[in-house]
Amino acid sequence: MINDSTTTAAKAERVATVACQFCSTLNRVTLDRVSQGPKCGSCGRPILLDRPLHVSDDTFQQVLSGTDIPVLVDFYADWCGPCKMMAPILDELAHDRLGEVLVLKMDTDRNPVTPSGFGIRGIPTMILFDHGRETARQTGAAPRPQIDMLLARSQPQ
**Residue-by-residue pLDDT tens, the chain, 157 positions:** 444 444 444 456 789 999 998 998 999 999 888 888 899 999 999 998 899 999 999 999 999 999 999 999 999 999 999 999 999 999 999 999 998 999 999 999 999 999 999 999 999 999 999 999 999 999 999 999 999 999 997 665 4
Instruction: Please report which helix (H) or strand (E) contains residue 111, including its range.
Output: none
Within 13 A of 66's CA, how many CA atoms are on the CB side? 14
Looking at the DSSP bridge assignments, the partners of residue 26 are: 19
Enumerate the active-site residues. 80, 83
Ordered domains of the chain (ranges, CATH): 49-61+69-152 (3.40.30.10)
